Amino acid sequence: MSAEPRINDRIRVPEVRLVGPNGEQVGIVRIEDALRLAGEADLDLVEVAPGARPPVAKLMDYGKYKYESAMKAREARRNQSHVLIKEQKLRPKIDKHDYETKKRNVERFLAEGDKVKVTIMFRGREQSRPELGFRLLQRLAEDVSELGFVESSPKQDGRNMIMVLGPHKKKSDAKADREVAKANRQAQRQADEEAEKAERAAGRAAAEVDKAGKGSRAQAVAENEE
């Protein structure tokens, strides 16, 4: 079945509940009268609620309505933010430097509004010490708690232990924050450049004043000697 509403002569009912172009309620009218009003206003008669009794029809410019609806849908798709699941892998006996590096990665992912799948990889005898991985995941969750939360608690999956962290911020909010921060940085750079230009101009002006002053003093000395 077509998703397009019935318009004008395709509306095959004896009467409709008519809505004007500005949303005003006209009332129940015969289909012939509704079509006549649409023609007089150079508009279309569009069935907007076919399931009502009688069906509801509205006077509108259907071509313009379809165009604006398509533009809104495209804009919504463009602005739609998709939450990604990033992955970060750790070893149960990770050293301090590597841990800090992995933690910064997780913080960056969460700050950008993405989920993070954290995987502890066990090898050899490490598989007999799952508590090492569990404690490491707990530590990581606490260290990044300002940016994210534990969405899926640590679970053993074969030789791996997996935990999923979710971001506190929505993807769209994180994107907006980044754009604001970028705009602030650009504004600060511009202000710094303007201040530097003003400082150079003031320096040049001071130099000109000093040069003019020296010239006047030299002229005065020469006149006195004469």
Please report, as a single letter, which amino acid is at residue 33: D
Query: What is the SS3 assignment for 117?
Result: strand
Q: What confidence score (pLDDT) does residue 44 get?
A: 94
Q: Give the other-Cβ count within 10 Å of 71's Cβ.
A: 10
| 139-162: pLDDT as tens digits | 999 999 999 999 999 998 888 999
Calpha distance 14→170 (Å, rounded) = 50
Confidence of residue 203 (pLDDT cuts 50, 70, 90): confident
Question: Residue 1 has what pLDDT?
Answer: 40
How far apart, in whole angstroms, are the C-alpha atoms of residue 107 and residue 173? 16
- Using DSSP, state whether 26 is helix, strand or coil: strand
Residue 146 in tokens:
């300002």
Q: Tell which wins on pLDDT, 51 or 175.
A: 51
- Contact between residue 134 and residue 161 where contact means Cβ atoms under 8 Å apart: yes
- Cα distance between residue 177 and residue 181, in whole Å: 6
pLDDT of residue 80: 60
> 219 pLDDT exceeds 60?
yes
Nearest of 120, 148, 117, 115 to residue 134 by alpha carbon = 120
Instruction: Say whether pLDDT at 120 is over 50.
Output: yes
The structure's pTM equals: 0.47
Q: For residue 79, how many other CB atoms are within 10 A of its CB?
A: 9
Task: Identify the weakest region by mean pLDDT among 8-12, 190-194, 220-224.
Answer: 220-224
Averaged pLDDT, 23-42: 93
Tokens of 106: 């997780």
pLDDT of residue 140: 96
Alpha-carbon gap, residue 148 to 166, rounded angstroms: 5
**Which residue would you say has higher pLDDT here, 175 or 61?**
61
pLDDT band at 222 (very low <50, low <70, confident <90, very high): low
Q: What percent of the chain has pLDDT over 70?
A: 84
pLDDT class for 87, splitting at 50, 70, 90?
A: very high
Which 3 state secondary structure label does DSSP give 108?
helix
